[in-house]
Structure 1
Amino acid sequence: MKQDIPIIIKKNIPNLGEPGTITKARLGYVLNYLLPKGIVDIATPGKIKHINMLKQIQLNQLKDLENQAYKTKNHLEQIPKISIKKKVGDQKHIFGSVSEKDIINYIFNSTGEKLDKKQITIPIIKEVGIYTIDIKIIDNIHVKLKLQILPDNINI
């Protein structure tokens, strides 16, 4: 007599599923292997309700994070371009480099948005000109902004 029982997976196991998944497995496999190793729990109505509540909380947090990311994107899109002055040598080559910190400070002073330097992708900048930078707010939300490098002796 083969009997399947509902289980809640606690650790990632091939052919069973991801942690937090509710599935069924053979009674002998569950009792003799999965339960003693702490890989699964027996799915009771209370545990299923608890898992569903945790999933709903995670979904709400993800929606809040996404809404905040869209607000940040709208604030950043209000900046027409970022202008940074650098000391210039012969043939419009700049001294030093443009760092993420320069851009973060400019954005914070303009919009009040705090960014992390890991969110900003800057091309290699060696001379005066206009460049495009990419700002990754969250995984699927990006903003492209214009970065203008000006000689130090020009007023913006």
Structure 2
Amino acid sequence: MKLILTGDVPNLGAPGDIVEVKDGYGRNYLLPRGLAVVATRGAEKQVDAIRRARKSREIRDLGHAREVAAQLGGLSVTVKAKAAGESGRLFGSVTSADVVDAVRAAGGPALDRRAVDVPAQIKTVGKHPVTVRLHPEVTTELDVAVVAG
């Protein structure tokens, strides 16, 4: 089955890529989740628009990714959670969007929230490691301090 990816799929491709996958994987996973559309003539014309949008928010190259990783390494990122119980457990959880906002507030670069991997769910106050995928060859780990606000 020939599909055009509309979202980032690990080990398969990025938005705008035209891929050939097994019928079951495409029908049962990619299409229902909105990660791909069937490659038709009309949809192939939209590939350029998808790729332009991806380029605007993408890390330019390997050197730029390493530069951004160096900036992230020197940051002290603090996320203020709305409320926490007496034992330090949060009412809610910290998401990748919260981490991206905290990086921006700390003076760091603008990141795509889909590039930030928050482990399971951050539901407690304290320091937590977060992985940021900047480039297929560059990933960096960022320590995020969660405080009750």
Aligned residues: 88
Uncovered stretches (5+) of structure 1, i.e. residues with no partner: 1-63
TM-score (norm 2): 0.54
Q: How does 1:1-156 map to 2 (within 5 A)?
A: 65-79=61-75, 81-86=76-81, 87-123=83-119, 124-152=121-149
Uncovered stretches (5+) of structure 2, i.e. residues with no partner: 1-59
The structure whose Rg is larger is 1
Higher helix share: 1
Where does residue 18 of structure 1 map in the other structure? none
Higher strand share: 2
User: Which amino acid is the alignment partner of residue 90 of structure 1?
Assistant: E
Residues 58-99 of structure 1: CA deviation (Å, up to 9, x unaligned): xxxxxx6111111111111111x3211221113211011111
SS, match of residue 111 in structure 1: coil
Structure 1 residue ranges, 4+ long, deviating more than 3 angstroms after superposition: none
Where does residue 15 of structure 1 map in the other structure? none
Aligned residues: CA RMSD: 1.5
Percent of pairs identical after alignment? 20
User: Which amino acid is the alignment partner of residue 110 of structure 1?
Assistant: A
For 1:117 and 1:151, the matched residues in 2 are separated by 22
TM-score (norm 1): 0.52
